[in-house]
Amino acid sequence: MNPGKVFLIGAGPGDPGLITVRGLELLSRADAVLYDALAHPALLDACPNAEKRNVGKRYGQDSATQTAINAELVALAREGKRVVRLKGGDPLLFARGAEELQALHEAGIEFEIVPGVSSPLAASAYSGIPLTHRELSSSVTFITGSDREGKDWSPASWQKLATATDTICIFMGMRWIEEIMQAIISGGRSAETQVAVVQWAARPEQRVVCGTLRSIPGIVRAEGITNPAVIIVGEVVALRDQLRWFDNRPLFGKSLLVPRPAEQGRVTAAAIRARGASARLLPAIEIRDPTDPAPLARAIGELRSFEWVLFTSANGVTRFTRALRAAGLDARAFAKAKIGAIGPKTATELESFGLSADVVAEEFVGEGLARAVLAQGVPKRVLLARAQVARDALPELLRRAGAQVDVVPVYETVAADAGEALRADFEAGKIDVALFTSSSTVNAVVDTLGARAVEYLSRITVASIGPITSNTLRERGVHVDVVASTFTVDGLLDALESHFLAKR
């Protein structure tokens, strides 16, 4: 058996988008992943087929010992596996990465180190507090607030550090914050020196509190700030009011319900995180093969006879091209047929199969796609690949113009069984906004919530991707607060930002 290899990868802090390109590439090819508590869970979506083990260590909680983690890494590598050790922040900065590498070295296991964005750098950037500044700070020191196990805490090193550096960055210092701040004061630093504490840096849960060496312990205790947090001591803290950009955005800290199929939900969640909000993924609908596969198989067999092939969703493209591959065909099967897409997302999905849409509707609804097709003349025969249950406006407009339209279901949407979890989130006030991107998600969520659906949804902001979805919401008795003017997820998030900005 060929020996395996261990990749020690820094996951970066908070936002999963901060992992390096190299780290993400290796993660996607891993056979086994041992991950920390501070690595964002969304990163595990990149390795769906890998064995995953949570080996995070948190103070005061039952967790894996370092010796056990070392042994697991060695054992998995000896099985010939590609093993990723995923650590929050940077793996060699106060992260015990070196200890794990020493164990691998002693066992004769090959390894590679992939650095990551460290938590103080993220805390600095995402709080708007630079660690250095030409006029305020020419030096910065990183130090841990957690002493080695079995070693008594001592103020001596903190007193020496107090005036030896301009900016002090303290990792995991919340347990001893009173003692640390007092020791820095005793070392000669002014009690009025500015201090910031950044909890959960680069996440929608990020919290920043500011004070002085004298006042900050009381402030963080009153606010309930705990680890993971970074303490920044120095005059650079004063720049936060000017440089703050992340936690003052319209959607920052809000929890958005995303009732979409799992794969689409992950893409939407990434767009939401990019705006400082958190996504509560709820696969309220599942995408399945059509009840009767015969019409799809027949349409693929007759594909060369169609003048136009129309797609009204990315799901339709995915399911149709999957069936095409299963039949041993590729993009050449479309022959001279023109292709129409209802919107840019659908067109992008077509491109992944090597197809370019001849027309993309300017209005991302069935009527818009019908108008775009008819603008190029009345086609003789059209294939419409869509969901099993959908509006008939598109085929009716084409037929009325004289076209023959074959409507072929390529997938169906069914409600997922998520009622208990969804109702619990509403009862606990964990949802601020519900994003509805189709009529099927509306019906699935309302049906899942049951008799109290309208009541639950009246407590939050309801956002709709467009007029068709809005009409469905109203038909189900739900008030619509925000409607996108551009019928895409990004357009919907833009509309939400404008909505919350107007309310400030």
pLDDT at 374: 93
pLDDT at 283: 65
**Mean pLDDT over residues 194-212, rounded?**
96
Distances (CA, A) of 212 to 168, 184, 193, 238: 13, 12, 5, 11
Nearest of 364, 370, 357 to residue 398 by alpha carbon: 370
Angle at 286 between CA 285 and CA 290, to 5 degrees: 120
Tell which CATH classification among 3.30.230.10, 3.40.50.10090, 3.20.20.10, 3.30.420.40 matches the domain 255-284+416-502.
Answer: 3.40.50.10090
Catalytically annotated residue among 31, 57, 425, 494: 57
How far is the C-alpha of 389 from the C-alpha of 292, rounded, in Å?
13
Residue 90 annotated to the active site: no
Q: Where are the domains of the chain?
A: 5-116, 121-243, 255-284+416-502, 288-414
Does the pLDDT at position 478 exceed 60? yes
How far is the C-alpha of 165 from the C-alpha of 179, rounded, in Å?
19
Distances (CA, A) of 196 to 69, 104, 177, 185, 223: 34, 38, 12, 16, 13
Nearest of 367, 317, 378, 374 to residue 345 by alpha carbon: 317
Nearest of 244, 230, 240 to residue 169 by alpha carbon: 230
Catalytically annotated residue among 36, 90, 166, 432: 36
Distances (CA, A) of 175 to 99, 181, 436, 438: 24, 12, 43, 48
Residue 133 or residue 333, greater confidence: 133
Whether the bond between 228 and the residue before it is cis, its omega within 30 degrees of 0, is: yes
pLDDT at 474: 97
Q: What dotted CATH number matches 5-116? A: 3.40.1010.10
Q: How crowded is the C-beta side of 119, counted as CA atoms within 13 Å?
A: 32
How far is the C-alpha of 198 from the C-alpha of 228, rounded, in Å?
9
Of 91-105, 272-286, 447-461, 481-495, the poorest mean pLDDT is in: 272-286
Query: What fold does the segment set 121-243 form as a domain?
Result: 3.30.950
> CA dihedral defined by 436, 440, 441, 442, rounded to 10 degrees?
70
Contact between 444 and 415 under an 8 Å Cβ cutoff? The reply is yes
Percent of the chain exceeding pLDDT 90 equals 69
- Within 354-466, residue ranges assigned H as helices are 366-374, 393-400, 419-427, 439-449, 453-458
Does the pLDDT at position 172 exceed 60? yes
Q: How many other C-beta atoms lie within 10 A of the C-beta of residue 406?
A: 17
Q: How crowded is the C-beta side of 256, counted as CA atoms within 13 Å?
A: 31
Residue 36 annotated to the active site: yes
Q: What are phi and psi of 391, to 5 degrees?
A: -70, 150
Specify the 3-state DSSP secondary structure of 362.
coil
Domains 5-116 and 288-414 share a fold: no
At 30, the pLDDT band (50, 70, 90 cuts) reads very high
Q: How many other C-beta atoms lie within 10 A of the C-beta of residue 485?
A: 10
Q: Which two tokens stand for residue 467?
A: 């007029």
Q: Which two tokens stand for residue 427?
A: 């009862």
Does the pLDDT at position 60 exceed 60? no
pLDDT at 149: 59
Does the pLDDT at position 59 exceed 70? no
Query: What fold does the segment set 288-414 form as a domain?
Result: Rossmann fold (3.40.50)
Of 58-62, 274-278, 310-314, 444-448, the poorest mean pLDDT is in: 58-62
Q: What are phi and psi of 364, to 5 degrees?
A: -85, 55
**Mean pLDDT over residues 197-221, rounded?**
97
Percent of the chain exceeding pLDDT 70 equals 95
How far is the C-alpha of 261 from the C-alpha of 113, rounded, in Å?
35
**Mean pLDDT over residues 304-329, rounded?**
91
Q: Strand pairing partners for 347?
A: none
How far is the C-alpha of 228 from the C-alpha of 207, rounded, in Å?
11
For residue 337, the one-letter residue type is A
Query: Euclidean distance between the first and final Cα of the chain, in Å?
Result: 63
pLDDT at 167: 98
**Mean pLDDT over residues 288-304, rounded?**
89
pLDDT tens digits for 237-293? Answer: 999 999 999 999 999 999 999 987 666 678 888 899 999 999 988 765 667 888 888
Nearest of 118, 100, 94, 70 to residue 8 by alpha carbon: 100
Where are any strands of DSSP class E within 140-294? 140-144, 167-171, 194-199, 207-212, 229-233, 255-258, 278-281, 285-288
Q: What are phi and psi of 441, to 5 degrees?
A: -70, -35
Does the pLDDT at position 61 exceed 60? no
pLDDT at 151: 62
How far is the C-alpha of 197 from the C-alpha of 127, rounded, in Å?
9
Residue 465 or residue 152, greater confidence: 465
pLDDT at 288: 81
pLDDT at 413: 75
Does the pLDDT at position 466 exceed 70? yes
Q: What's the mean pLDDT when you consider all of the chain?
A: 91
